[in-house]
Amino acid sequence: MKQFFIVWIASCILAFPISAQEIKILTYNILHGERADQPSSPNLADVANLLVQIQPEVIALQEVDSMTVRSSVVNGEPIDYVYKLSQETGYRGYFGKAMVYDGGGYGEGLLVKKGSNYHTIKLPNPAGGETRAIAWVKAELKSLDEFYFGATHLCHEFEANRIAQLDSIISYADSLNKPVIWVGDLNFTPDSPEYASIPEHWKEAGAVAGDLQNTYGTAQSGARIDYIWYDSRKLELVEYKVLTDITFSDHYPVWAVLRLKKENPE
């Protein structure tokens, strides 16, 4: 049945042709590689199958383990989740370590079709708690247009940390000379001070689409905390979906298609 859902979702997503200047995006909190509906069972093969079916240009993963003891409990041996997933899908993978954890690393994953300048920036946590980071890549489309893509997972404990982390991300993103998209599990809801603090030129795909579907928990009981943000001066929204039939984690994958705006001639 799960294979049917993936094929059905893929057929819906791929029903319309994508132009060379459109960017297919997926962000997904993968619950450190463990299926939420089957505890202690790995979700790597399921996630790989989903990505191969729907073919985003860029993919962000949160709660990613690399060579941890926990990953050995779930998978039978310690694994670098992003490396394994890149082998299964053909994407180029990058792991951005946010912190040392359980004998290995824990942080963000990036998978892209074509990219360069991969790097990780540590984020502030003035209130203490777990260290956090954002992983960046300069990605390239078939049209040769380039854009920056960032993947993050903000503090789950303290509002002060999330505000400081947002300030750091936005300051860096605004300094870049290409269109910018940043995404992830941000651990705040749309009615929060954190959400309200984000400058107007940054648009959130779900709000623009008018789709307020929960991204965490269940469709009936959960929260909308996973987001795709883009610089509306250089990008516009084409499509947005929360893939609520995909239950490989306690979050749902979030999908969007963005289009590069044509530059006005001098």
- Where does residue 37 rank: exposed (0-12), middle (13-18), buried (19+ CB within 10 A)? exposed
Question: What CATH number does residue 53 fall under?
Answer: 3.60.10.10
Is it the case that residue 43 has pLDDT exceeding 70? yes
pLDDT band at 265 (very low <50, low <70, confident <90, very high): very low
The pTM of this model reads 0.92
Is it the case that residue 7 has pLDDT exceeding 80? no
Count Cβ atoms below 10 Å from residue 194 Cβ, excluding itself.
18
Residue 263: the pLDDT is: 72
- 140-164 pLDDT, tens digit each: 999 999 999 999 999 999 999 999 9
Residue 266 forms part of a structural domain: no
Residue 10: the pLDDT is: 63
Residue 45 forms part of a structural domain: yes
Q: Stretch 107-124: mean pLDDT, rounded? A: 98
Q: Give the integer Cα–Cα distance in Å for 136 and 58.
A: 11
- Where does residue 95 rank: exposed (0-12), middle (13-18), buried (19+ CB within 10 A)? buried
Parent domain of 199: 2-8+22-260
Residue 265 forms part of a structural domain: no
The per-residue pLDDT of the chain, averaged, comes to 93
220 vs 64 pLDDT, higher one: 64
Give how many domains the chain has, as a whole number.
1
Is it the case that residue 5 has pLDDT exceeding 60? no
DSSP assignment of 63-76, as one string? Answer: EEEES-HHHHHHHS
Is it the case that residue 52 has pLDDT exceeding 90? yes
- 218-246 pLDDT, tens digit each: 767 899 999 999 999 999 999 999 999 99
